[in-house]
Amino acid sequence: MSAVSLVVVVGGDLLAMRVCEELLAAPGQRVTLLWRHVEEHVEKLCSFGCGYVAREADDYDALTEAGVAEASAIMVLTEDDRLNLQVALKARDLNPTIRLVLRQFNRTLGRKIEQNLRDCSVISVAAHSAPAFVGRALDPSCFYALQFPDLDGVQLGFAQRPAAEFGVAGITVRAAQQHVCGRVLAARGAAELASDAVLRGDDELIVFAPVERLEATRSAVVRTAPVPTLPPHAPRPQPGVLRRLRETIARQPILSRFVAAVLAIFVLAVVYFAVTMHYDPITAFYFVATTFTSTGYGDLHPERDQPVAMLVSNAVMFTGVAAIGIFIAVATAALTRAQFNAMQGLRRIRTAGHVLVAGSGNVGTRVIGYLLDLGKQVVVIEMKPDSGVIEMSRARRIELLTGDATRDTTLDLCNVAAARAVVAVTDSDTANLEVALGALARNAGVPVVVRVRDEAFAGSIARQFEAIESYSPAALAAPAFAVLAHSPGTRGRIAFGEVAYDLVERGATEGPQPPAAEDCIPLGVWRNEGTGRFVPVDTFREAEPFDRLLFLAPLGRSGSGQRGGTVLEAGTALPDVGAKDQDGNDVRLRDFKGRKLVVYFYPKADTPGCTAESQAFRDAKRDLDAAGAAIVGVSRDDVAAQKRFAEKYGLNFPLLADTESVICDAFGVIVEKNMYGKKSVGIQRSTFLAGPDGTLAKVWPRVSVEGHDKAVLEAVRSL
């Protein structure tokens, strides 16, 4: 990863915060956030060493203060497309050589900007994250997915499962790659694979292939028990004719009374004319009907010498005109309602094997589009569908229900028991969880993927509900977006075999050359033959001119700007340092010699990231104990703050109050920070694992909270 002098980030949402954190994880990076003053930003940015200019972004003076004139890149990540473009152009006015990375929801406009504005990358969180939702829904073993090339290509994914579940047991790696139309990247944890090696059924494989092939090779799930049917969710029996009539009368009391009055007038008129004009009942009915509809008096008519009969006839006519008008209005409303229900209203869905999508916002619309590209049947639930979604329903591309996806009555209509998968991507985290739980209550085996903005909440969902897979669009997008500040064409980040990789797209002539190519893994090319096609490749030499190349590039080791030395490395002896814990007890790290020890450093107690990390370790403590490891948390908070933190969240391990930074300095986790132009120092979030002999076995120098507890537990078990 190339070092840069300064990157300016514009924005105030979770994505901007995550991008700042990812940028600062690279050695030599300086980052300044430009956004209006938000109190919680000060503390959070301070915790990972980011500068902060609290001003409105669309101002030349503010951009100058943020350092745009000397910056190598500016990343404009607000949720306002117009503001993003304005800020980017003003930054280019101040610094003609600055690299631009801007967020745009409108992908068509974004492509035009990229084509016409040099050294510029345009990004969309929805477009970047939606393939991951689709890939996971169709294949639960798919841990990352993307569309390659952007806008025009196929959906590709990375999946991990045994060879038997890919249908490649007993054949060679070369034959397996032909079977999946992709690449076998690793087997049994090893990335170095001979093409003629034979795969065993229990070999755990990492495979990169088109999502439709991953889905096709996925083994069918055999249910060993019937899906439980809960009484509240059982479909209600269909009511009889009389009951429906009573319900209609109850729902439409005024209309019901009017119809009753018209019928009464009609019957009384028939009786009246049968008596006064000496008609038989059939003739009297005919006479009243022609009078009622104003179509008669060609053959039968009231006599002129019977004024009462003529007045009654007039009354019947007026009643008929009014009744017919109201009937037409009611019939029109009923037809309109029926048409609405058929296109987008609440109705019972008979489709089977469909994907149920709750929510059609920016991410939801992308998910729907990707599913349709894969030929899937899609049922969409949305409270306020936009014109694009309604048009898809009218064209019979999707089945749309306009309603609340969290209501049991709505889910009951969606045939969840026969659904292929459920994707909940509304704007509410709790609503998405409610949809997921409702779907699982109706079909315990259905794959469920939900969108969760709050990463701590996503972690809690993952720990408490194993059947639900949750994704944060910002967490998915931030690593890739951060690399775009200095490396155009980055499409994402994945990790396997203890190595993290950037997923990079380049032209064939721009691909990595030796010796760098020796550390990179080619995945495939997009070849413009006819309509274009994806071709897996084993070596970079297979790429042809004009191909678009996709490959994995390993991340460089992260450095740090520590005060008083560098971060301790694996193989170093555990420092003989200590401090008081939350109960006032003196604790020294060497006291744990003879046991494995996890020491994690967090910037400040009871802040969002530190809370999420500590809760995750709290929940993992039983597994750590079983693996023979103790855990200790360290921050520069005092004893009282550590005690409040531990009691508030039930933290069941020592929290050391390193108020003098003795432990932090010994481990080298203190970094220099710049806030409002003032330099300060603080803890860089880090974790260390020591073996029973007191030697550091594993170091995580810059920690991303999501999934970190699982990585630590895995390392402890392997030690």
Q: Is the pLDDT of residue 512 over 80?
A: no
More confident site: 261 or 499 = 261
Average predicted confidence (pLDDT) for the chain: 84
Mean pLDDT of 203-220: 87
Q: Where are the alpha helices (DSSP H) in 347-469?
A: 362-373, 387-394, 408-412, 429-442, 455-464
pLDDT value of residue 149:
86
Quick one: CA dihedral 72, 74, 75, 81, positive or negative? Answer: negative
Q: Decide if 358 contacts 405 (C-beta within 8 A).
A: yes
Q: How many CA atoms lie within 13 A of 75 on its CB side?
A: 30
Q: Decide if 144 contacts 494 (C-beta within 8 A).
A: yes
pLDDT value of residue 107:
80
Fold classification of 578-718 (topology level):
Glutaredoxin (3.40.30)
d(CA 406, CA 188): 42
Strands 142-148, 154-162: pairing kind: antiparallel
Mean pLDDT of 364-368: 94
For the domain covering 243-327, report its CATH number.
1.10.287.70
Q: Where are the alpha helices (DSSP H) in 100-219?
A: 107-116, 125-138, 163-166, 173-180, 211-217
Q: Is the pLDDT of residue 689 over 60?
A: yes
Q: Where are the alpha helices (DSSP H) in 170-252?
A: 173-180, 211-217, 241-251
Domain 355-451 class in CATH: alpha beta
Q: Is the pLDDT of residue 2 over 50?
A: no
d(CA 379, CA 421): 10
The domains spanning 243-327 and 578-718 adopt the same CATH topology: no
d(CA 338, CA 349): 15
pLDDT-derived band at 511 (thresholds 50, 70, 90) equals low
pLDDT value of residue 375:
93
pLDDT-derived band at 437 (thresholds 50, 70, 90) equals very high
Quick one: CATH architecture of 7-123?
A: 3-Layer(aba) Sandwich (3.40)
Residue type, 188: R
**Does 149 sit behind a cis peptide bond, omega within 30 degrees of 0 on the bond before it?**
yes
pLDDT value of residue 654:
95
Percent of the chain predicted with pLDDT > 90? 45
The residue with tokens 């400040």 is 604
Query: 146 forms bridges with which residues in the sheet?
Result: 156
687: left (phi over 0), alpha (psi -120 to 50) or beta: beta
Tell me the pLDDT tens digit for each residue of 532-572: 889 999 988 888 888 889 999 887 433 333 333 468 888 88
d(CA 688, CA 703): 11
Instruction: Provide the whole-model pTM.
Output: 0.66
More confident site: 136 or 331 = 136
Which phi and psi angles does 361 have, rounded to 5°? -80, -150
Q: Is the pLDDT of residue 701 over 60?
A: yes
Report the range out of 73-82, 229-238, 557-566 with the highest average pLDDT. Answer: 73-82
pLDDT value of residue 487:
81
Q: Is the pLDDT of residue 614 over 90?
A: yes
For the chain, what's the residue count?
719
d(CA 168, CA 184): 11
Q: Decide if 451 contacts 235 (C-beta within 8 A).
A: no
Where are the domains positioned within the chain?
A: 7-123, 140-217+498-554, 243-327, 355-451, 578-718
d(CA 433, CA 358): 11
pLDDT value of residue 38:
81
pLDDT-derived band at 95 (thresholds 50, 70, 90) equals very high
d(CA 452, CA 203): 33
List the catalytic residue out of 20, 142, 414, 610.
610
d(CA 404, CA 164): 41
Q: Is the pLDDT of residue 230 over 60?
A: no
Q: Is the pLDDT of residue 227 over 60?
A: no
Residue 656 CB neighbours (<10 A): 28
Tell me the pLDDT tens digit for each residue of 12-38: 888 999 899 888 876 667 899 999 888
Is residue 610 flagged as an active site residue? yes
Percent of the chain predicted with pLDDT > 70? 87
